[in-house]
Structure 1
Amino acid sequence: MINNSWDERFNKQEYIYGKEPNVFVKSMLQDHPSCDVLTIAEGEGRNAVYAAELGHRVTAWDYSSVGLDKLHQFADSRNVKVKTKLVDLAQEIDFRENQWDVVMNVFGHIGDASVRQRLMKGIKTMLRPGGVYIMEVYSDRQLPYRSGGGKDIRLLYTPCEVLQIFADWQIKYFYYGEVERYEGKLHTGLGHVIQLAVYKPTD
């Protein structure tokens, strides 16, 4: 039974965003010491499986049970384990303190600005001191590019909201501009993104 639009989208044999990890995630995570990693809006699992292959202890959240089932199939094929949890990020969530060393969000476009801000504040709570939040999402300038993402500008991130929320943290990397992405059929070509790698203070 198909429960939501993401279940319908993922309900096919192919991996619609491919099986290779996101380029930015790969650059940020490949040399990171083994730790507890949470991937949110993870879909079919390409970034979670990559992190697990690096030796991290990985948990993935997504709104689609079909996507999470495909994630487990993918992980099994690569001989790694990923814990999963069915989570609707647009709803109120109990963000437990100091639970993760890394949280990753790759093209997780959930709700309007109020939902995004609640989620990012929750991520600040969940990360342990010294932990890092890694994010690549489409920006508010993405719509004319037609290379991926939703068609509703309310779902797109702005640089101001991201920088305001993380102003009191150590920003290792921030980028607002164009990148080329070839991730399955739905992220193809030149797009406009926000990339962020930001560390939680240790004191």
Structure 2
Amino acid sequence: MWDDRYGSEGYVFGTEPADFLRARADLLAPGQTALAVADGEGRNSVFLAQKGLSVTAMDASSVGIEKAKRLAAERGVSIDFQIADIHRWNWTPEAYDLVVAVFIQFLTPAERPAVFQGMIRTLRPGGRLMLHGYRPEQVDYGTGGPPHRENMYTEALLREAFSDLVIEELDSYDADINEGHGHVGRSALIDLVARKP
């Protein structure tokens, strides 16, 4: 499915990072190691690399990864791109200072716990998780994401899922976004920034 989606001309979600990530650039320090989860066509991993981070970006779509490689080359950055199934990814313990997951809501409620626990496990002590996604109300807007309320996040869900982390920021809000043709218009968003003790 994702190979087909990313096979279109241009970048489905644009080439600029999610506003969520750009707004928190002060948390990004040169030399940090980062994992970009299900990074698609590379807009967020490229931004991290431009900020001087050492980035690994994983995605299941070889088509998406090829487009991400082109974007990285255009922007003059080097990224360790990995074609990988998120359900089989090796969440190496304490490997990264930062884990970034933006709109990974293809995961069903049954699939989420293992991936969320993996993201926690692969963070180093003191490392941060930065998670950005949709709330259930997004289905009514219809401006991006799957049409499945159960795949969306609530504050209560994220507080429980990441109770082992120190939550630094958890914010629900509506905003107009313009990210390629994949995410356009009024959106029901939720942001989480949390630190591993």
- When normalised by structure 1's length, the TM-score is 0.92
2:185 is matched with 189
SS in 1 for 2:92: coil
Tell me how far apart the structure 2 counterparts of residues 8 and 79 of structure 1 sit (CA, whole Å): 27
CA shift digits 1:99-139 (9 cap, x unpaired): 00000011111321121121111111000000000011111
CA distance in 1, matches of 2:115, 2:25: 21
Match of 2:136 in 1: 140
Q: Letter of the 1:40 partner, please give it.
A: V
The alpha-carbon deviation at position 153 of structure 1 amounts to 2.1
Unpaired runs of at least 5, structure 2: none
Q: Distance in 2 between matches of 1:30 and 1:185?
A: 28
- State the 1:32 CA deviation: 2.2
Give secondary structure in 2 for the equivalent of 1:70: helix
| Aligned counterparts, 1:145-156, within 5 A | 145-156=141-152
What is the match of residue 64 of structure 1?
Answer: 61
The Cα of 1:27 is off from its aligned counterpart by 1.6
Q: CA RMSD in A?
A: 1.3
Q: Which residue of 2 aligns with 1:164?
A: 160
1:158, distance to aligned residue in structure 2 (A): 2.8
Match of 1:28 in 2: 24
Partner Cα separation in structure 2 for residue 108 and residue 176 of structure 1: 17
Deviation of the 1:16 alpha carbon: 1.2
Q: Is the 8 A contact 1:143 1:151 kept in 2?
A: yes
Contact 1:181 1:188 survives alignment (8 Å): yes
Overall identity of the aligned pairs, in %? 31
The aligned residue for residue 121 of structure 1 is: 117
Pairs aligned (count): 196
- Following TM superposition, the consecutive aligned residue runs of length 4 or more in structure 1 with deviations greater than 3 angstroms are none
**Preserved CA contact (<8 Å) 2:42 2:67:** yes
1:102 to 95, 98, 101: 98
The C-alpha deviation readout for 1:43-65, integer Å capped at 9, x for no partner, is 10011101111111011011100
- Structure 1, gaps ≥5 residues long: none
| TM-score where L is the length of structure 2 | 0.94
In 2: Cα distance, 1:154 partner to 1:169 partner: 23
Distance in 1 (alpha carbons) for counterparts of 2:26 and 2:77 = 16
